[in-house]
Amino acid sequence: MAYIDLMSAVHKSTKRDYLARVNDPEFPKAKAAGLSKQWGYDYWDGDRRICYGGYRYMEGRWEKVARAMVEHYGIKPGDRILDVGCGKGFLLYDFTKVIPGLDLYGLDISRYAIENAKEEIKDRLQVGNAISLPFPDHTFDFVYSITTLHNLHCYDLERALREIQRVGKKNKYVCVESYRNEEEKANLLYWQVTCEAFNTPQEWDWWFKHTGYTGDHSFIYFE
């Protein structure tokens, strides 16, 4: 298990006004969070003050992540890959641009996201829950989950990590939100609208060891 930063270039490209998120007169933080946790239109394509404000495919944005994964894990044509929390499938689609011939699968709890997924990859995606992956043991050459597992309460987080470990072979990677100090903790609380697992890096390491997760990981910090 190793710390591998594959996400900072994408994450740090976003500018954030933390106080505006909390104090917005129409969509204050609590209201935005309630709408977001329905995982429907408001979360993906509704007002920007709620969450994404229109989650659309951007040429090249996810391709750099796909390429980094391919290079780091030696992914090759024919490999079977699972995205746990795939959203609209943008990263999976960009895998097809980096290496044709991959056997791709995606799963997300949001029916809206699957129904509005990238058309070229939609038939590889399904509605499902990270705590019960509908695949046999050791099915996938590479399993990853990006900015998803921190949305689970502790009892489901444990099950999800064990499920990723179960269906994967050697290579696994998760990216979750975390904080290293009180400033980052406050920023995380102000900005996030779906996070349930507020853990320091040390606490995340405990979760990985507790569940037997042997893959790699990285953290997103709200600096």
For residue range 78-97, list pLDDT tens digits in order.
Answer: 999 999 999 999 999 999 99
Can you give the pLDDT at residue 39?
A: 98
Q: Name the region of 165 (left: φ>0; alpha: ψ -120 to 50; beta: rest).
A: alpha
Q: Which helix (H) or strand (E) holds 154?
A: helix 154-167
Domain-located, residue 1? no
Q: Which residues of 73-110 are buried (b: 16+ CB within 10 A; e: fewer)?
A: bebeeebbbbbbbbbbbbbbbbbbebbeebebbbbbbb
Domain-located, residue 3? no
What 3-state DSSP class applies to 143?
strand
3-12, 181-190, 196-205: segment of lowest average pLDDT:
3-12
Percent of the chain residues topping a pLDDT of 70: 98
Q: How many domains does the chain have?
A: 1
Entry pTM:
0.95
Domain-located, residue 151? yes
Domain-located, residue 184? yes
Range of the structural domain that residue 63 is part of: 8-220
Can you give the pLDDT at residue 70?
A: 97
Tens digits of per-residue pLDDT, 113-150? Answer: 999 999 999 999 999 999 999 999 999 999 999 999 99
> What CATH number does residue 111 fall under?
3.40.50.150
Can you give the pLDDT at residue 23?
A: 87
Domain-located, residue 2? no
Question: What is the end-to-end Cα distance of the chain in Å, rounded?
Answer: 25
Closest CA to 4 of 103, 188, 162, 146: 146
Can you give the pLDDT at residue 210?
A: 98
